Amino acid sequence: MLRKIVVISPVYNEEKYLLEYYKAIRKNYLGPILFVDDGSTDFSSKILKEICNLDTDCDCIRHPSRKGYGAALITGFNYSLKDKFNIVVTVDVDLQHDPKYLPVFIDKLNEYDVVLGSRYLQIGSCLNIPKDRLIINRYISRVLEIKLNKKFSDPFCGFRGYKTNFLKNANLKENSYGIALEILFEIVRQKVNYVEIPIEAIYHDMNRKFLDGLDNPRNRLLYYLNIIQRKLEEIYEKQNNDNKSTSR
The pLDDT, as a whole number, for residue 81 is 96
Number of domains making up the chain: 1
Is residue 25 domain-resident?
yes
Strand order in the sheet with 194-198: 58-62, 33-37, 5-11, 87-90, 160-163, 114-118, 194-198
Is residue 201 domain-resident?
yes
Domain of 42, in residue numbers? 5-131+153-209
The pLDDT, as a whole number, for residue 74 is 98
Is residue 174 domain-resident?
yes
The pLDDT, as a whole number, for residue 235 is 85
Is residue 218 domain-resident?
no
Q: What is the mean pLDDT of each run of 10 residues along the chain (248 residues)?
A: 86 96 95 98 97 97 97 98 96 92 96 95 72 92 96 96 97 95 97 95 66 85 96 84 65
Is residue 77 domain-resident?
yes
Is residue 33 domain-resident?
yes
The C-alpha atoms of residue 25 and residue 35 are separated, in whole angstroms, by 12
Q: Which of 119, 91, 106, 118 is nearest to 11 (CA)?
A: 91
Q: Could you tell me if 147 and 113 are in contact, meaning their C-beta atoms sit under 8 angstroms apart? A: no
Is residue 239 domain-resident?
no
Name the phi and psi angles at 20, rounded to 5: -65, -40
Q: What is the CATH number of the domain that holds 180?
A: 3.90.550.10
Query: 233-244 burial by CB neighbour count: b if 16+ within 10 A, else e?
Result: eeeeeeeeeeee
The C-alpha atoms of residue 7 and residue 42 are separated, in whole angstroms, by 23
For 73-118, how does the pLDDT look when each residue is reduced to its tens digit (9 = 90+)?
Answer: 999 999 999 999 999 999 999 988 899 999 999 999 999 999 999 9
The pLDDT, as a whole number, for residue 206 is 55
The pLDDT, as a whole number, for residue 225 is 97
The pLDDT, as a whole number, for residue 121 is 87
The pLDDT, as a whole number, for residue 2 is 61
The C-alpha atoms of residue 22 and residue 47 are separated, in whole angstroms, by 10
Is residue 246 domain-resident?
no
